[in-house]
């Protein structure tokens, strides 16, 4: 089965073509476009390139297209990208304006360009379908809750990959099997608990607690703007700050939203950049605000991780993933500092040597195993698309 994974941003389009024949999961081709003005044009160009390169003899050979959709109103999971999915995306277009409109448009364009291919959407919220209501509900009036205001969680594909791969690395194939079948079978009982905290640290960051392969809670909430400080998004903020800023700074709501989503986070605190590499360079050169931005990211990562430690009742695995998590040795060390009393000890030499590859960085006597697991959201999506299609057959 040939599965094309389509990653659509407001001005970007990236793709990977997988051969999902039994036991292969092989990437046949990949590419991308930036500064996109018309997704229909670049989709046509990408398909032509796949034919020209020989990755496919004809675009008609593509069996399915998978979309890593973000947030849908009254809809989550791995679903057929039909009119119901489009309505769900458009119903929350204002909540995820950089993602939902491009995905809705892209799904319609692929339906026109590849009419015989199956179109499947995997919502980023899917991994959090089984989070207990006490952890997913806000203490808002019932009418707000009925309108869909609750904690949804994001980076679901990344944390699901961590759930499966960490179970394999910890010798828990029973839990890994639960994760593989999660969207088809739901949570399943296992003989012995497996407790993991996953830290997805990148341009956009989140921390998720995972018990027996299933999320129990996550740092992100109603929108991708919440949780940890992001590259240029504020993260958690007291709701009382918004009306105060409107009065004190003379700002209208659209401008407040723009500043919180475009000028906050690492950029807002450091005043240097929304890229941690630039922020770290500035901090190393004595920029106090840049160092503060890094310290805040570390503090919030530890704060959210500690909250899940209590809910999990202990810990077996602690994982770093995504660009910062995979490459930031100093940040990993800072997040894990002083946790020896919880049985978590990292090996300084292993940690320093790890540059983005899958590695265990804990000491031999650490009762909590610490891993770096590179993110592979596209592979998760390709596998879930294949499972979904098999379930429809």
Q: Is 4 annotated as a binding residue?
A: no
Q: Is 377 annotated as a binding residue?
A: yes
Pairing outcome for strands 13-19 and 2-8: antiparallel
Q: Is 14 annotated as a binding residue?
A: yes
How far apart (Å, rounded) are the C-alpha atoms in residues 177 and 171? Answer: 12
Phi, psi of 343 (to 5 degrees): 85, 15
DSSP bridge partners of 80 = 120
Rg (CA), the chain: 21
* Cα dist from 366 to 273, 318, 341, 363, 369, whole Å: 36, 11, 10, 5, 6
* Cα dist from 292 to 253, 278, 335, whole Å: 28, 14, 15
For 253-376, strand residue ranges (E) read 317-321, 359-360, 369-372
Report the greatest alpha carbon distance in the chain: 62
Q: Is 277 annotated as a binding residue?
A: yes
Q: Is 332 annotated as a binding residue?
A: no
DSSP 8-state assignment for residue 15: E
Closest CA to 64 of 392, 377, 391, 382: 382
Q: Is 68 annotated as a binding residue?
A: no
DSSP 8-state assignment for residue 365: T
Structure tokens at 310: 């209590």
Q: Is 327 annotated as a binding residue?
A: yes
How far apart (Å, rounded) are the C-alpha atoms in residues 186 and 26? Answer: 27
Measured over the CA atoms of residue 95, residue 98, residue 102 and residue 107, the dihedral's sign is negative
How far apart (Å, rounded) are the C-alpha atoms in residues 243 and 266? Answer: 23
Q: Is 7 annotated as a binding residue?
A: yes
Q: Is 330 annotated as a binding residue?
A: no
Q: How many CB atoms sit inside 10 A of residue 34's CB?
A: 10
Q: Which residues does the annotation place in the binding site for ATP? A: 14, 275-277, 323-327
Q: Which residues does the annotation place in the binding site? A: 7, 14, 275-277, 323-327, 377
Q: Which residues does the annotation place in the binding site for Mg(2+)? A: 7, 377
């Amino acid at each position: 089965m040939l599965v094309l994974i389509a990653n659509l941003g407001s001005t970007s389009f990236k793709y990977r073509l997988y051969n999902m024949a039994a036991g292969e999961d092989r990437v046949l081709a990949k590419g991308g476009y930036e500064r996109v003005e018309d997704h229909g044009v670049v989709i046509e160009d990408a398909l032509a390139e796949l034919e020209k390169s020989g990755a496919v003899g004809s675009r008609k050979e593509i069996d399915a297209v998978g979309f890593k959709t973000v947030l849908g109103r009254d809809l989550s999971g791995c679903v057929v990208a039909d009119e119901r999915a489009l309505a769900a995306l458009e119903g929350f277009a204002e909540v995820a304006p950089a993602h939902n409109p491009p995905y809705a448009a892209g799904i319609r364009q692929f339906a026109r360009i590849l009419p015989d291919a199956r179109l499947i959407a995997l919502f980023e919220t899917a991994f959090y379908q089984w989070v207990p209501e006490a952890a997913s509900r806000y203490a808002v009036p019932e009418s707000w809750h009925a309108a869909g205001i609750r904690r949804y969680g994001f980076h679901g594909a990344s944390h699901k990959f961590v759930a499966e791969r960490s179970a394999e690395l910890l010798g828990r194939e029973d839990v890994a099997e639960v994760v593989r079948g999660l969207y088809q079978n739901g949570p399943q009982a296992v003989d012995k608990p497996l407790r993991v905290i996953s830290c997805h640290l990148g341009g956009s960051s989140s921390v998720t607690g995972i018990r027996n392969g299933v999320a129990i809670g996550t740092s992100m909430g109603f929108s991708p703007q919440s949780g940890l400080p992001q590259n240029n998004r504020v993260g958690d903020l007291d709701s009382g700050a918004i009306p105060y800023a409107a009065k004190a700074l003379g700002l209208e709501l659209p401008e407040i939203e723009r500043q919180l989503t475009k000028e906050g986070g690492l950029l807002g605190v450091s005043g240097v950049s929304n890229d941690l590499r630039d922020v770290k360079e500035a901090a190393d050169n004595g920029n106090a605000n840049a160092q503060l931005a890094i310290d805040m990211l570390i503090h919030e990562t530890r704060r959210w991780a500690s909250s899940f430690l209590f809910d999990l009742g202990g810990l077996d695995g602690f994982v770093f993933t995504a660009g910062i998590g995979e490459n930031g040795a100093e940040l990993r060390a800072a997040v894990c500092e002083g946790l020896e009393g919880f049985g978590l000890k990292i090996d300084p030499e292993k940690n320093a040597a790890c540059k983005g590859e899958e590695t265990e960085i804990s000491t031999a006597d650490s009762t909590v195993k610490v891993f770096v697991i590179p993110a592979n959201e596209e592979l998760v999506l390709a596998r879930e698309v294949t499972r979904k299609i098999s379930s429809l057959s």
